[in-house]
Amino acid sequence: MTKIIGLTGGIGSGKTTIARLFEAEGIPVYISDDEAKKIMLRPITVEKVRQEFGDLVIDNGQIDRKALSEIVFNNPEQLKKLNSIVHPLVKKHFDEWVKQNSHHPFVVKEAAILFESGSYKYCDKVITVTASEETRIERVVKRDHVKPEEVLQRIKNQIPEKERLERSNFIIYNEYKTLAKEQFLQILKILKNIH
C-alpha cells in the first residue's frame, strides 16, 4: 500500500525546495496549488464558481482570479464556499494520481494548507518545512516583489506556526539549503523504512 507523506509549511518556508529534493530522488510529488490552478480552468469548475459567485468573477469563459480573490481574501465564509467547490475536485484528482503511482512505496503531497483543508487526515506522516519569520518575509518579498507588510498579512492568514509544528511528524528547519538537505536525507532514510 502506497503511503502518503504530507509536505507543508507557511509561505516562504521553502516547501518547493524540499519538494524538488524528493523529485530528485525519483519520488512522485503532487503540488496541490499547481493542480488546483489547473482544476480551476476546467469548464465544470468555472460553471460551479459562476453559480456560486456570479458573472462578475468570470472573464472570457474563465475564472477571473483577481476578482475572485478580492471576494474571498478577507471573508472566511466566502472562502469556505470556494473551498467547498475546489477541494473535492482536487481530492478526486489526487486519489487518481495516487493510484497511477501506486507502484511507489510512498508519494508526497505538497500543500500549503494541508492542516486547514483537512488533507492531513489522509497522510501517513506529515513533514513541515519552517524558517524564521524574518527569513520567510525576505524570501517572499524577493520572489513575489511585494511589500513586507503584505507578506506578514499572508502569514497571519495561515494557521499559527507553533500549531503546524506541533501537528507534524517531522520538521525541516530551512534557514540554509545545506542544513535543510541534511535533514531531508535523514527523514528520507526513515520514510524508506516505514512499512
Domain with CATH 3.40.50.300 in the chain: 1-28+106-195, 33-100
pTM of the prediction? 0.90
Helix (H, G, I), strand (E, B) or coil at 131: coil
What residue type is 104 in one-letter code?
H
Q: Of 100, 80, 110, 153, whose CA–CA distance to 9 is shortest?
A: 110
Per-residue pLDDT of the chain (195 residues; tens, 9 = 90+): 899 999 999 999 999 999 999 999 999 999 999 999 999 999 999 999 999 999 999 999 999 999 998 898 778 899 889 989 998 999 999 999 999 999 999 999 999 989 988 899 999 999 999 999 999 999 999 999 999 999 998 888 889 999 999 999 999 999 998 999 999 999 999 999 876
14 labeled binding residue: yes
Measured from the Cβ of residue 171, the count of other Cβ atoms closer than 10 Å reads: 17
Instruction: Characterize 79-117 residue by residue with b for buried, 16 or more Cβ atoms within 10 angstroms of its Cβ, and e for exposed.
Output: bebbbebbbebbeebbeeebeeeeeeebbbbbbbbbbbb
Q: What is the CATH number of domain 1-28+106-195?
A: 3.40.50.300
* Helix, strand, coil shares, percent, the chain, to 5: 60, 15, 25
12 labeled binding residue: yes
Give 31's contacts (C-beta < 8 A, 6+ positions apart).
16, 19, 110
13 labeled binding residue: yes
CATH number for domain 33-100, candidates 3.40.50.10330, 3.30.450.40, 3.40.50.150, 3.40.50.300: 3.40.50.300
- Contact (Cβ atoms closer than 8 angstroms) between residue 106 and residue 1: no
